[in-house]
Amino acid sequence: MKKGDTNSNSYILIYASVIVVVVAFLLAFTNIVLRPRQNRNIELDTKRQILAALNITDVKDVEAVYNRYVKLDMLLQLDGTLVVNSGGFSSNYTTEFSKKRFHIFQCDVNGQTKYVFPLNGVGLWGPIWGYVALNDDRNTVYGAYFSHQSETPGLGAEIASPQFQSEFKRLKVMKDGKVGLSVVKYGKVVDKKYEVDGISGGTITSKGVDAMLKKCLSNYIVFFTNQ
Amino acid sequence: MSELFSKKNKDTFSIPLGKNNPITVQVLGICSALAVTAKLAPAIVMGLSVMVIVAFANVIISLMRDTIPTRIRIIVQLVVVATLVTIVSEVLKAFAYDVSVQLSVYVGLIITNCILMGRLEAFAMSNGPWESFWDGLGNGLGYAKILIIVAFVRELFGSGTLLGYNILNYECIKSTGYLNNGLMLMPPMALIIIACIVWYQRSRDKELQENS
C-alpha cells in the first residue's frame, strides 16, 4: 500500500468500522464464553462471604461447607411472613429488594440456629456490602463480614479486616425499637453494647458501614421483634 | 536469535528501569502510583498487570502500525488498550476471581494509565513488534519497581506489616514508644516518597540534572 493511502477519508471510515466490529466480536465472544465460569465464581464467593459472617473462614470446598451449615434461604415479606426462596442465587438481593422482599439465610452451626442478613451500601469510592449473623435470640450479633469494591487500602478498606469485623461480636442490634447497632467515630464509643469504633482515617467508609447497618437491618425489624 | 537479544533490545528493556523510568523521569502514571501503594500486595499485582498489558498493547500496535491512519491513531490505540484490558479483566474474573476482587477497579483504570498511551505513541508506532515488546516490558517493570518501593515504605511504616504479615506491631517495639505513622497511608505520602526517589536518582545521575 502506498503511503498516504491510509489518510483518505474512505480508508479511515472503513478502518474504523472494521476495528469496531472486530473488537465488538472479540469482547462479546470473551464475555459469552467466560460468563458461566464468572457466575459460578460469584456464587461461590457469595457463599464464602455468608460463611465468613458465621465465622467460618479459610474454607476449601465452599459448596460442601455451605450446604452443611446453611439450611434455608428465605425471603421476609413486608407483613412479616417468610417464604422459601425458590430462585436460588439467581434471584439477587436488589431484585428481591425492589419487590420488598428481604433475604434471610437460616443456618445451623453446631446445633444452634443462626440467621444471616445481607447488607449493601455505599462507602467513599464505591459500593460496600456485607453480612451480619445473629444468634437465635434474633438480637445478638454472632459474626459480621464486610467487603468493599474500591475503598482506600489501609484506611477505609480496613472494614474488610478481621480485627474490625470481630468487634461486632456479641453486640446487640435492637435498641428502643430501632436498630441500635452502629459504627461511631474512632474513640467515641459511648455504649459498648451497641457501638463499634470506626476506622481512624476511614471516617466516610465507617459512616457508610453505619448507614448500611441501619438501612438494611431496619428492613428486618418485624423479624427481630416478632419471635 | 542473537539478533533478537541484541544490545539495542537490551537497552530498550533496561533504560526505562533507570535512566528513563516512566514514573521518576517521565513523570507518568503518578495517579495510580498514589492509589494502589498503601499496601504492598495490590502494588505488586498492579505492577505485573501493567507490565503485561503494556508489552502486549505495544506488540499489537506495532504490528498494526503501517495500517493505522495517522488522523485516528490515538483512538485506535485507545481501542486496542481498552479491549486488552477488558479481556484481561474478564479472564481474571473467570480464572483468578480472588485477584480480580482485590484489584477491583484498578484493572479498568489501567486503560487511563498514561504510560500505556505514552509508549504506544512514542515507541510502538515507529518500531517493530519485538523491540516494542521489550520496550513495554521494560517500562512496565520500571513502573512496577517504583510502585513496589513506595508500597514497601508505606505499608511498613504506615501499618507495620508487609504483605499483610506483622513486622512492627509487637509489644517490645511498641513499648519503646514507636507508633505506626498514619500519614504514610495518606496519598500525599506517596508523592513525597516518589519525590525522594527522584531526588536520589537525580543526585546520582548527572545526565538527569537540568542546567537552570
- The CA distance from A171 to A139, in Å, is 8
pLDDT per position as a tens digit, B145-172: 999 999 999 999 988 888 878 888 888 8
Dihedral sign for Cα A171, A78, A102, A159, please: negative
- The CA distance from A70 to A136, in Å, is 14
The set of cell numbers assigned to B127 is 518500531
Q: What is the pLDDT averaged over residues A211-223?
A: 91
Position A131 pLDDT exceeds 90? yes
Bridge partners of A107, per DSSP, are A70, A114
pLDDT per position as a tens digit, A176-195: 888 889 999 888 888 888 99
φ/ψ (deg, to 5) at A168:
-80, -20
Residue whose C-alpha is closest to residue A15's, from B102, B18, B116, B73: B73
At a CB cut-off of 8 Å and minimum separation 6, what does A157 contact?
Answer: A148, A151, A202, A205
- What is the model's pTM? 0.72
Residue whose C-alpha is closest to residue B17's, from B206, B147, B116, B127: B147
At A23 the pLDDT is: 95
Of the pLDDT bands very low, low, confident and very high (cuts 50, 70, 90), residue A1 is very low
Residues of A with CB under 8 A from a CB of B: 1, 6-7, 11-12, 15-16, 19-20, 23, 26-27, 30-31, 34, 37-38, 41-42, 44-45, 125-126, 149-150, 152-155, 200-201
Tell how far CA A126 is from the center of its chain: 13
Q: Are A227 and A138 within 8 A, CB to CB?
A: yes
DSSP category for residue A37:
H
pLDDT per position as a tens digit, A161-177: 888 999 999 899 988 88
CB atoms within 10 A of CB A96: 17
**Which helix H or strand E contains B155, and what residues bound it?**
helix B129-158
Residues of A with Cβ-Cβ distance to B39 under 8 angstroms: 153-154
Residue whose C-alpha is closest to residue B46's, from B99, B86, B112, B117: B99
- The CA distance from B194 to A89, in Å, is 46
- The CA distance from B38 to B189, in Å, is 9
This model of the complex carries an ipTM of: 0.73
The set of cell numbers assigned to B136 is 513495554
- The CA distance from A123 to B120, in Å, is 36
Give domain limits for chain B. 28-205
Residues of B with CB under 8 A from a CB of A: 36, 38-39, 42, 66-72, 75-76, 79, 83, 86-87, 90-91, 93-95, 97, 101, 104-106, 154-155, 158-159, 182, 185-186
**Which residue on chain A is closest to B43 by alpha carbon?**
A153
φ/ψ (deg, to 5) at A128:
-125, 155
The set of cell numbers assigned to B204 is 546520582
